[in-house]
Copies of this chain bind each other. A is one copy, B any other.
Amino acid sequence: MQGAVIHGPRDVRFEERPTPTIALPTDAVIRMSATCVCGSDLWPYRGANAIKQPTPIGHESCGIVEEVGSAVRTVKPGQFVIGSFFASDNTCPHCKAGYQTSCQHRELIAGAQAPMLRVPLADGTLVPTPAMPSDDLLPSLLAASDVLGTGWFAADAAHVKPGKTVAVVGDGAVGLLAVLSAKQMGAERIIAMSRHASRQKLARELGATDIVSERGDEGVEHIKDLTNGIGADSVLECVGTQESMTQAIGVTRPGGYMSYVGVPHGVSLDGGDLFFRHVYIHGGPAPVRRYLPKLIELIWNRTIDPGKVFDLTLPLAKVADAYRAMDERRAIKALLRP
């Protein structure tokens, strides 16, 4: 088969790769219905993560089970399933605590920008939909695989509750779906930080009540002004840079919660500063698996439409164009159809 392979900065190629097969009895192989490019794929694409050798890339998946290993019990060939960026056994103590991305047997998924994907620990990792989905649900189901689950974790980790004031730092797909998640959890006021007109518009569609377009100290001041000088109850950091973390911590009220779900790059937090800010902080790779059953239900009932974050659809063979469009911020998120 042909799939996406990253060779170096800004060098993603659609090229021949071995077709995945069952390697272990707990594996499944799925035939991709749709896949996509993640904001986190842009870190290696932009050279922020070293690439030592040509590496299959992509970790968001939904599709039909082609084959399962002999030990797989809950997932069957022919089912439509959704996975995420880590495989997890869903039985170890960390999984039981709801932190499947810290599973004692976790395995990073790679190579999902391809027509077929091997998924380890299939029983623990994949969640089937109630039936075969109609085509218009595909973008939303695919979003559940990472960006929606990550935005949802951001809101949950920041203890978003009915009536609360929420601020979201970052207007990528995760930030936008963090807005959607906060809205679902009953937040009264949702302040989205965004400088781009099209993203501001989408943020409002998804539930934002206020937009703050300034960054840095000015952005902090604006949010303080909007909250009577108090700060937000819950702040969702969806970028992963020093600037965005500093901004997020700066707008959280004392005793408030700041979650961070963008992989931190070069972020260092000063203990004394954090101490006197009285902020709860929590984050990490989102345990999407914890939320998948709930998210699939909300999508299936058409309560939410997270697929709106895909503003570009391309054939899988054009994967390099999808990276370029996202890198240049011409697209929020690109969906790829094999």
Contact = CB atoms under 8 A, between A and B. Distances in A.
B285 A254 contact: no
A255 B98 contact: yes
A278 B253 CA distance: 22
A264 interface: yes
Interface string A249-287: 000011100001001111111111011111111111100
Q: Main SS of the interface on chain A?
A: mixed
B278 A260 contact: no
19 contacts: A94-B230, A94-B255, A97-B253, A97-B254, A98-B255, A99-B254, A99-B255, A102-B255, A104-B229, A245-B271, A263-B272, A264-B275, A265-B272, A267-B272, A268-B271, A269-B274, A274-B283, A277-B284, A278-B282
Interface of A: 93-94, 97-99, 101-102, 104, 228-230, 240, 242, 245, 253-255, 260, 263-272, 274-285
A281 B252 CA distance: 14
Given A94-B254, A264-B272, 10 more contacts: A93-B230, A94-B255, A101-B278, A102-B276, A240-B271, A263-B275, A264-B274, A267-B270, A267-B272, A268-B269
A263 B276 CA distance: 9
Contacts of A274: 264, 269, 281, 283-284
| Count of identical protomers in the assembly | 2
Contacts of A280: 280-282
Contacts of A98: 255
A139 B278 CA distance: 29
A275 B260 contact: yes
Pairs A-B, 6 closest by C-beta atoms: A267-B271, A264-B271, A102-B254, A278-B284, A99-B254, A280-B282
B285 A275 contact: yes
Nearest to A237: B271
A189 B91 CA distance: 23
Nearest to A95: B254
Contacts of A260: 271, 275
A229 B92 CA distance: 11
Contacts of A275: 260, 263-264, 283-285
